[in-house]
Amino acid sequence: MSKSVEFVVILDDGVRKRHRHETISGKVTNFAVQLKIKVQQEWRVAVRYDCAHGYAHMDRYDIR
């Protein structure tokens, strides 16, 4: 049986963490964790950890 969990944690004014993971029989099969910051009234991803390419990795973004 698969299960999906998603939530947002407010860390500070203009800073939040978005978390999502999927499990099958208690084992994580997919995940994404993002640090998002507000830049000029728009939410932008600063850092993201996920397994979108079939393995766990981190992406960093230049928000300029």
pTM: 0.81
Residue 25 domain boundaries: 2-60
Q: Which pLDDT does position 11 carry in this prediction?
A: 97
- In this prediction, residue 29 has a pLDDT band, given cuts at 50, 70 and 90, of very high
**pLDDT value at residue 64:** 65
Can you give the pLDDT at residue 22? 95
State how many domains the chain has: 1
- Provide the token pair at 4: 């999906």
C-alpha angle with apex 21: 39 to 63, nearest 5 degrees? 20
The residues with which 49 forms a beta bridge, in sequence order, are: 33, 58
58 has pLDDT over 80: yes
| Exposure b/e, 5-16, CB count within 10 A at least 16 = b | eeeeeeeeeeeb
What is the C-alpha separation between 34 and 26, in angstroms, rounded? 22
